[in-house]
Homo-oligomer: A and B are copies of this chain.
Amino acid sequence: MDMEKEKTLAFTLDPKSGVPYYKQIILQIEMAISDGRLVSGDQLPTVRGLAVDLRINPNTVARAYNELEIRGVVNTQQGTGTFISDKTISMTEVERERILAGLAREFIAKAQSYGFSKDDVLSFLVEEDPVKRNNQEVSDGDKKSTVFTH
């Protein structure tokens, strides 16, 4: 049964978090890709479907999908749907490095705005390996949660 697989994507929104809805959606998709719940070719929920689920406007979901499309994370076809794209073909090595450099800069800057030094960040990353940690979202009711690794 691939019932498990369906359960792994449970979007939730926290209105009190201060994080915009569309960004929460983006983050949850990134997490799902990061831990393998979403892989290339998978279809995302439709903008209307997810909008109804989350009780928000379809355009808000569309905005999240749009931003991901600009990044090349998903590709979208009007009338068909939005799908996780295959990143291995789309970018050259130079391009990839440029993007990674941008992400790194962005992250360092954000960490600094929280008062961390670059050294703080670097030494933390090499020591702690952050991805193994579990997440804090969801957990709103049923706890299937099969996918997150420890």
The answer to whether A73 and B115 have CB atoms under 8 Å apart is yes
CB contacts under 8 Å to B, within A89-119, are: 91, 96-97, 99-101, 103-119
Which of B73, B91, B109, B122 is in CB contact (< 8 Å) with A31? B109
> Is residue A49 within 8 Å, beta carbon to beta carbon, of the partner chain?
no
Q: Is the CB of A72 within 8 A of B133?
A: no
User: How far is A121 from B103 in the complex, measured between Cα atoms in Å?
Assistant: 9
Identical subunits present? 2
Inter-chain contact A114/B87, CB cutoff 8 Å? yes
A131 beta carbon closer than 8 Å to chain B: yes
**Interface locus among A6-14, A22-30, A54-62, A139-147:** A22-30
Known contacts: A115-B30, A115-B71. The answer to whether A128 contacts B109 by CB under 8 A is no
A130 within 8 A of B: yes
Say whether A80 faces chain B, with CB atoms less than 8 Å apart. no
* Sample of 7 A–B contacts (CB below 8 Å): A27-B112, A71-B113, A96-B116, A100-B114, A100-B124, A105-B135, A118-B129
